[in-house]
């Protein structure tokens, strides 16, 4: 089977897939970490979920939906860091974080690579990942899907997957909700057997085998894997002309259409 013709860039497809992760969230604080998640959340707010609450990434809730990194907008609320932790504990939030490693059980690592006591590579630290994952809906964005990211076991569990949450007891499992993992190749969730990572769709031009090869554990692959949807014309206009006219998204996901990639 050949991939369908497409004029969307891979970055646009990722943005629409991220937007879809937020479409059914209702009136909650959408908290994207990083550029493509910010683009996807703003796209969702302009299309499928206008009730989303978004911020400037610092301390203001924005009433409008400004382009990426634009300063001026109407402010509708105040969300300094002390209040962010209140919203996390309260639960009306969906965060999309980055992930240096993700394992088969949906655990995520942003802390360090190697032993915690003497890491080979120190990263950020666990940040808010432990609290996010036991309190509110959490998704991950992985701009380079590879066996370095998708590993059998993460070195340090920052973000808690469903199995670890279950093993830690009801207080940890009650609100654990790992919703989507969107990558440059595919959309995944943790709906596989025993809450393991499952392939939901492959982006246009990507094969299931490519995703399998780029994943360092046995990925749950349903018999029929659909292709990630193309952005609508409206979405493409919003991405290209309103939200990201400068093409900042191509720094995270290089500009290559499906045809260019396969030719």
Partner 1 sequence: MRGPRDKRMSIEQVVDQLEDGMTIGIGGWGPRRKPMALVRAILRSDLRDLTIVSWGGADVGLLVRAGKVRKLVYAFVSLDSVPLEPNFQRARQQGTIPEVVELDEGMFQTGLRAAAQRLPFLPMRAGLGSDVLVNNPEIKTVTSPYDEGHGHEELVAVPALRLDVALVHLNRADQHGNATYLGPDPYFDDLFAMAADRTFLSVEQVVDTAGLTVDTPVQRLLLSRMLVDGVVETPNGAHFTTCTPDYERDERFQRTYAAAASGTDEEWAAFEQRFLSGDEAAYQAAVRELQEEKG
Looking at 17, 62, 134, 187, which residue binds partner 1 (CB under 8 A)? Answer: 134
Instruction: Compare residues 98 and 204 and give the one whose CB is closer to partner 1.
Output: 98
Instruction: Compare residues 101 and 257 and give the one whose CB is closer to partner 1.
Output: 101
Contact call for residue 112 and partner 1 (CB under 8 A): yes
Looking at 159, 204, 205, 216, which residue binds partner 1 (CB under 8 A)? Answer: 159
Dihedral angle over CA of 15, 198, 87, 59, nearest 10: -30
Cβ neighbour number for residue 31 with a 10 Å cutoff: 26
Long-range CB contacts (within 8 A, 24+) of 78-84: 79/29, 79/55, 84/31, 84/128
Q: How far is the CB of 140 from partner 1 (least distance, A)?
A: 15
Q: How far is the CB of 161 from partner 1 (least distance, A)?
A: 8
Looking at 10, 42, 137, 164, which residue binds partner 1 (CB under 8 A)? Answer: 164
**Ramachandran region, residue 9 (left: φ > 0; alpha: ψ -120 to 50; beta: rest):** beta
Produce one character per residue of 167-177: b if its CB has 16 or more CB atoms within 10 Å, e if not.
eeeeebbeebb
Contact call for residue 130 and partner 1 (CB under 8 A): yes
Looking at 2, 121, 193, 263, which residue binds partner 1 (CB under 8 A)? Answer: 121
Residues of span 18-77 touching partner 1 by CB under 8 A: 58-60
Contact call for residue 99 and partner 1 (CB under 8 A): no
**CA gap 143, 120 in Å, rounded:** 22
Stretch that binds partner 1, among 23-31, 157-165, 178-186, 221-229 (CB under 8 A): 157-165
Distances 238 to 167, 191, 242 between C-alpha atoms, Å:
43, 31, 5
Q: Are 70 and 60 in contact (CB under 8 A)?
A: no
Contact call for residue 248 and partner 1 (CB under 8 A): no
Instruction: Compare residues 36 and 187 and give the one whose CB is closer to partner 1.
Output: 36
| Pairing verdict, β 101-103 and 150-151 | parallel
Q: Bridge-partner residues for 108, per DSSP? A: 102, 159
119 membership: H or E segment, kind and range:
strand 119-122
Stretch that binds partner 1, among 15-23, 81-89, 227-235, 236-244 (CB under 8 A): 81-89
The contact set with partner 1 (CB under 8 A) reads 58-60, 78, 80-82, 85, 88-89, 111-112, 116-131, 133-135, 156-160, 164-165, 167-172, 174-176
């Amino acid at each position: 089977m050949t991939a369908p013709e497409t004029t969307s860039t891979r970055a646009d497809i990722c943005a629409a897939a991220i937007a879809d992760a937020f479409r059914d969230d209702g009136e909650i604080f959408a908290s994207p970490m990083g550029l493509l998640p910010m683009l996807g959340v703003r796209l969702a707010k302009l299309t499928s979920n206008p009730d989303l609450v978004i911020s400037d990434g610092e301390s203001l809730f924005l009433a409008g939906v400004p382009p990426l990194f634009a300063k001026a907008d109407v402010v509708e609320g105040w969300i300094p860091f002390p209040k962010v932790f209140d919203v996390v504990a309260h639960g009306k939030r969906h965060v999309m974080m980055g992930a240096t490693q993700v394992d088969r059980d949906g655990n995520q690592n942003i802390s360090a690579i190697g032993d915690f006591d003497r890491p080979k590579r120190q990263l950020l630290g666990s940040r808010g990942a432990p609290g996010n994952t036991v309190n509110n809906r959490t998704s991950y964005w992985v701009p380079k899907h590879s066996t370095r990211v998708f590993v059998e076991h993460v070195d340090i569990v920052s973000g808690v997957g469903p199995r670890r949450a279950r093993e830690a007891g009801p207080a940890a499992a009650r609100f654990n909700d790992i919703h989507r993992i969107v990558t440059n190749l595919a959309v995944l969730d943790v709906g596989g057997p025993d809450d393991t990572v499952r392939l939901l769709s492959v982006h246009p031009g990507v094969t299931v085998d490519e995703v399998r090869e780029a994943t360092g554990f046995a990925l749950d692959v349903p018999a029929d894997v659909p292709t990630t949807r193309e952005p609508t014309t409206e979405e493409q206009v919003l991405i290209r002309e309103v939200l990201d006219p400068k093409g900042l998204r191509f720094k995270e996901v290089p500009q290559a259409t499906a045809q260019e990639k396969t030719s």
